Amino acid sequence: MKKIICIIILLKLALFNAVLAEPELTAELKNGKEKALTICSACHGLNGQAASAGNSVLIPNITAQQKNYLVARLKSYKSGEIKHPQMTVVAQMLSDKDIDDVSEWYSRIKITIADPEVEIAAPK
C-alpha cells in the first residue's frame, strides 16, 4: 500500500512539474515572443488572434501563417512598398532579425480545427 501511495505522489509531482515547466525556447523564439508581446499583441494577440477592434476584419488573425509570407509582408510595410498607417510604423520598430524572429514565433503557433458535426461537451 505504501508503494502505491508513493507512486501516486510521484506521478502527481511529475505531472505538476510538467504543467509548470515551460518548454525551453530557442533564442530566436524568445526574441520573437518578446517582440510579439510588446509590439504586436495589442492588435494581433500573442497567439496571433486579433484582439482589438472586436476581432474585426480590419485586423487579420496571423496564427500559423507561413513564416516567409510574414517576413515579406513586414519588410514591405517597413520599406513603404505596402502603405498602411499603423503597420508601416510598427514594422519600422523592428530590425530585420526581429522581423525574422517574430515571424518564426507566429508561424509556429498551431491551430485546432473541430468538426462542427461533433458535439462538444460544455465546460463544467
CATH of the domain at 57: 1.10.760.10
In-domain check, residue 67:
yes
Residues 89-123 have pLDDT tens digits of 999 999 999 999 999 999 999 888 777 777 766 66
Structural domain harbouring 54: 26-108
User: pLDDT at residue 19 above 50?
Assistant: no
In-domain check, residue 72:
yes
Q: How far apart are CA 24 and CA 30, in angstroms?
A: 9
Q: Which residue from 63, 56, 57, 98 is spatially nearest to 77, judged by alpha carbons?
A: 98
In-domain check, residue 49:
yes
In-domain check, residue 6:
no
In-domain check, residue 33:
yes
- Rounded alpha-carbon distances, angstroms, from residue 67 to 70, 77, 98: 5, 15, 13
pTM, 2 dp: 0.70
In-domain check, residue 46:
yes
Q: Taking all residues of the chain, what is their mean pLDDT, rounded to a whole number?
A: 82
Which phi-psi region, left, alpha or beta, contains residue 109 (left: φ > 0; alpha: ψ -120 to 50)?
beta
In-domain check, residue 114:
no
Q: What is the pLDDT of residue 13?
A: 54
User: pLDDT at residue 18 above 50?
Assistant: no
In-domain check, residue 19:
no
Q: Which residue from 84, 64, 63 is spatially nearest to 73, judged by alpha carbons?
A: 84
> How many domains is the chain built from?
1
User: pLDDT at residue 20 above 50?
Assistant: no
